[in-house]
Chains A and B, each alone.
Chain A
């Protein structure tokens, strides 16, 4: 009995952590810039490829993580400058343009890297806790997810730039008043969100492998989580991930991953019916 509960808890933890990983980047960008980046899944995919290539080039795993995050962060800045910047305030157009970007990236990767999947192996092994056999890597993943939340929170609360970003979120003029162009703020925010996505891809790739269509697997869940979470990126993502991770984890374990996703959607629709702006939609302060 205890064992079943513990296994369940372990699976739920993994499920919640995965959701946090794939959603936080999207949530940061959505919460701070009101931009829905439909290419988010592709950013994750690119991060995964980056990690694979780095490891195959001889880098240790943790370095590959860092490189992936950085590379995709830079890519995000580039995308923001070239595309997103022209579409501020136009929510629908941003949605469509990022969808185009998503197709473009998938097409480009398929053309230049081929459609077949790739992967890397990790040898972290398992540890035994009581009578449970837990994968060490899954635990590392959970730690990284928690770390992402913590780092984002620290950056937002305890750095000057974090203050700028939070201020701009409330009122775009605050940035100008503090002598920084709002443009800059958005650029860095988008870059940061992209870096988070890249890191997510890197961290997940030992478990999932990567192919050009990897993004597709995550897109539905990430969007459901972010939208239900509402406009505050940290609190929203954390609570929505907890909620959905639990539901998805249990349903996927008992039935199948498809049932898990359907369950997510149904719960999301119900939550949105009760709270049309998401869980944190009405909250005025906080992150």
Chain B
């Protein structure tokens, strides 16, 4: 599972991994038979948010770009879906737009930052600033004059009544169970897709760029182009996540862009570990459960605990839960030289 580690990444996944994916799919398909509606709802949300985590972690762990602003694309995806679907009624096409527009914005923003040779740290801070500005901008659209087509933006109240996904041939929008399948399968498809991407030349070049960008340039690769492509791809994935959120909750709001949401994405990835693709999924699940459990006691406590977790992990568990647990496991079981010496060399 932790095979997505850098030095193994370029190799085709082992049979054990495919088995893991197959079993997961089977479990996910059969889960609604055993699990009640409200749990399906919570799990669907976790899957949707995992996509957001994956978009950030792919960019960070495999390409080396730390973006604090994946929420920009997440929010854009949600709002695009809502506005398109509510104006034109074609929810299928709304999905497409919700992927395309964030990707396009990613192209523009990424172009400025990557071709503008802005240093890594500044890039991270700028992505954060962009999402904050989006939030502020959308929150200020409360007045009736802020309309897209026939739909009011509604400022900080968000847009309720977003239609569920209803493709041609369906007599009504997706049910809760339907959304569960959609979200879980989207997550699986993106996870598998990203893993397989790493075995393609494009994916291998991205990892090379993360390892040593200058060396790759000296070999003749235009690293800017590849980084931009990765940035756009992760923007599209985050946009998909936002659109699915809109389908899940029938609601979009400026909170999708805000600092708290952006922080949560970072926390999911740090807790889960960015050197694997399964890590962020696990991290999202853990933190989401924690958030829901704590949320009952009040907003302040949630923020406090999340902040504490982030600090602790940065100070003590840099690699995240999975790699730390993995290392502990190996120490206990005592398999040192037998395994590929992949682990120690990687510091993303």
User: Do residues B112 and A269 form an inter-chain contact, with CB atoms below 8 A?
Assistant: yes
Which one of A15-23, A95-103, A146-154 is at the interface? A95-103
Interface of A is mostly: helix
User: Do residues A261 and B301 form an inter-chain contact, with CB atoms below 8 A?
Assistant: no
Closest to A34 in B: B121
> For the complex, is B175 an interface residue (Cβ under 8 Å from A)?
no
Closest to B125 in A: A223
Contacts of A227 in B (CB 8 A): 122, 125-126
Contacts of A97 in B (CB 8 A): 310-311, 314-315
A100-B121 contact, Cβ under 8 Å, with A110-B299, A111-B298: no
User: Do residues B304 and A104 form an inter-chain contact, with CB atoms below 8 A?
Assistant: yes
Contacts of A272 in B (CB 8 A): 116, 118, 122, 126
Closest 6 CB pairs of A and B: A107-B304, A103-B307, A100-B310, A104-B307, A110-B300, A107-B303
User: Do residues A101 and B311 form an inter-chain contact, with CB atoms below 8 A?
Assistant: yes
Question: Which residues 50-107 in A have Cβ within 8 Å of B in the complex?
Answer: 83, 86-87, 91-93, 95-97, 99-107
User: Do residues B299 and A36 form an inter-chain contact, with CB atoms below 8 A?
Assistant: no
> For the complex, is A219 an interface residue (Cβ under 8 Å from B)?
yes
User: Do residues B310 and A93 form an inter-chain contact, with CB atoms below 8 A?
Assistant: no
Which one of B5-13, B132-140, B227-235 is at the interface? B132-140
Question: In the assembly, what is the distance between CA of A258 and CA of B266, in Å?
Answer: 26
Question: In the assembly, what is the distance between CA of A7 and CA of B137, in Å?
Answer: 26
> For the complex, is B198 an interface residue (Cβ under 8 Å from A)?
no
> For the complex, is A224 an interface residue (Cβ under 8 Å from B)?
yes
Contacts of B318 in A (CB 8 A): 93
Contacts of A36 in B (CB 8 A): 121, 125
> For the complex, is A216 an interface residue (Cβ under 8 Å from B)?
yes
Closest-CB distance, B347 to chain A (whole angstroms): 11
> For the complex, is B196 an interface residue (Cβ under 8 Å from A)?
no
Contacts from B to A (Cβ < 8 Å): 66, 112-113, 116-119, 121-122, 124-126, 128-130, 132-133, 136-137, 140, 259-260, 263, 266, 270, 298-315, 318
Interface of B is mostly: helix
> For the complex, is A251 an interface residue (Cβ under 8 Å from B)?
no
B117: contacting residue among A223, A269, A276, CB under 8 A? A276
Contacts from A to B (Cβ < 8 Å): 36, 83, 86-87, 91-93, 95-97, 99-111, 115, 212, 216, 219-220, 223-224, 227, 256, 258, 261-262, 265, 268-269, 272-273, 276-277
Closest to B310 in A: A100
Contacts of A109 in B (CB 8 A): 300
User: Do residues A100 and B308 form an inter-chain contact, with CB atoms below 8 A?
Assistant: yes
Closest-CB distance, A278 to chain B (whole angstroms): 8
Known contacts A96-B266, A106-B304, A110-B299, then 12 further A-B pairs from the complex at CB < 8 Å, ordered by chain A residue: A36-B125, A86-B315, A87-B315, A92-B66, A92-B121, A97-B314, A97-B315, A99-B310, A107-B303, A115-B300, A256-B140, A273-B116
7 A/B residue pairs, CB under 8 Å, sorted by A: A100-B313, A104-B304, A111-B298, A219-B132, A256-B140, A258-B137, A269-B112
Most buried by A among B118, B304, B312: B304
Contacts of B112 in A (CB 8 A): 269, 273
A265-B129 contact, Cβ under 8 Å, with A83-B311, A111-B298, A256-B140: yes
Contacts of B313 in A (CB 8 A): 100
Question: In the assembly, what is the distance between CA of A277 and CA of B120, in Å?
Answer: 11
Closest to B258 in A: A216
Contacts of A86 in B (CB 8 A): 315
Question: In the assembly, what is the distance between CA of A219 and CA of B308, in Å?
Answer: 20
Contacts of A262 in B (CB 8 A): 133, 137
A115-B299 contact, Cβ under 8 Å, with A99-B263, A100-B310, A276-B118: yes
User: Do residues A103 and B315 form an inter-chain contact, with CB atoms below 8 A?
Assistant: no
Question: In the assembly, what is the distance between CA of A238 and CA of B182, in Å?
Answer: 53
Closest to A217 in B: B136
Question: In the assembly, what is the distance between CA of A272 and CA of B118, in Å?
Answer: 7
Contacts of A110 in B (CB 8 A): 298-300, 303-304
User: Do residues B300 and A107 form an inter-chain contact, with CB atoms below 8 A?
Assistant: yes
User: Do residues B307 and A102 form an inter-chain contact, with CB atoms below 8 A?
Assistant: yes
User: Do residues A107 and B140 form an inter-chain contact, with CB atoms below 8 A?
Assistant: no
User: Do residues B306 and A103 form an inter-chain contact, with CB atoms below 8 A?
Assistant: yes
Contacts of A107 in B (CB 8 A): 300-307
Contacts of A92 in B (CB 8 A): 66, 121, 124
Question: In the assembly, what is the distance between CA of A215 and CA of B266, in Å?
Answer: 19
Closest to B130 in A: A265
Question: In the assembly, what is the distance between CA of A223 and CA of B122, in Å?
Answer: 9
Question: In the assembly, what is the distance between CA of A72 and CA of B26, in Å?
Answer: 55
B270: contacting residue among A83, A96, A212, CB under 8 A? A96
User: Do residues A95 and B121 form an inter-chain contact, with CB atoms below 8 A?
Assistant: yes
Closest to A30 in B: B121
Question: In the assembly, what is the distance between CA of A261 and CA of B117, in Å?
Answer: 23
